[in-house]
């Protein structure tokens, strides 16, 4: 095992030669490869998070729309029969009044 003075001497020599303080540099080719790699990773993330949630919401709305369309058709059918039902109700009320006038008062009261 080297002594402390030998270790300090070796460290001093490394610092003088510039090998100890050398910064990590990335070549232009490596930078371009890194940019392409990040771009390739970015596309699935953009699809997975926001776009996927929007498509799920659209599917839910379409499913709900089918149910509401059936309900709308039922209500439109009832609305079309509204005047017919009102006329029947008026006839039933008139029939009830006519029948009530034929029944003696003692039985109604």
108 vs 40, more confident: 40
Residue 31, both tokens? 């930078």
pLDDT the model gives residue 65: 94
Residues 6+ apart with CB under 8 A from 108: 100
77 vs 104, more confident: 77
Residues 6+ apart with CB under 8 A from 93: none
Please check whether residue 20 is in contact with residue 14, taking contact to mean a CB–CB distance below 8 angstroms. Answer: yes
Tell me the C-alpha distance between 79 and 84, whole Å.
Answer: 10
pLDDT the model gives residue 78: 86
Q: Is 102 helix (H, G, I), strand (E, B) or coil?
A: helix
pLDDT the model gives residue 85: 87
Would you tell me the crossing angle of helices 82-102 and 52-80 to the nearest 10 degrees?
A: 40
3 vs 54, more confident: 54
Mean per-residue pLDDT, 67-86: 90
pLDDT the model gives residue 20: 45
Q: Could you report the per-residue pLDDT of 15-65, keeping only the tens digit for each? A: 666 554 456 688 899 999 999 999 999 888 888 888 888 888 999 999 999
């Amino acid at each position: 095992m080297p002594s402390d003075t030998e270790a300090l001497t070796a460290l001093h020599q490394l610092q003088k030669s510039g090998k100890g303080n050398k910064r990590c540099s990335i070549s232009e080719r490596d930078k371009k490869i890194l940019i392409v790699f990040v771009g390739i990773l970015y596309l699935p993330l953009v699809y997975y998070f926001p776009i996927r949630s929007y498509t799920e919401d659209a599917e839910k709305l379409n499913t709900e729309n089918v149910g509401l369309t059936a309900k709308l058709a039922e209500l439109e059918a009832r609305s079309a029969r509204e005047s017919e039902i009102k006329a029947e109700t008026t006839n039933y009320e008139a029939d009830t009044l006519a029948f009530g006038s034929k029944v003696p008062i003692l039985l109604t009261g």
